[in-house]
Amino acid sequence: MIRKPAVGGYRLYSRKKDPKTGKRRNLGTFKSKAAAQQYEREVQYFKRVG
């Protein structure tokens, strides 16, 4: 899930909520939406391969 925080940039969050905190985990902050989308694809790829 990609969100645009008020401070700028784009932040990638996990799809599922963390059971301990009840919040989504921050997977990184990126300058462009394209960079965030690319990294999200990489994360999903390695979830299947690893």
For 20-37, what is each residue's pLDDT tens digit? 999 999 999 999 999 999
Average pLDDT of every residue of the chain: 94
Which of left, alpha, beta for 3 (phi over 0: left; psi -120 to 50: alpha)?
A: beta
Q: What total number of domains does the chain contain?
A: 1
pLDDT for 17: 95
What pTM value is reported for the model? 0.82
Range of the domain at 7: 2-49
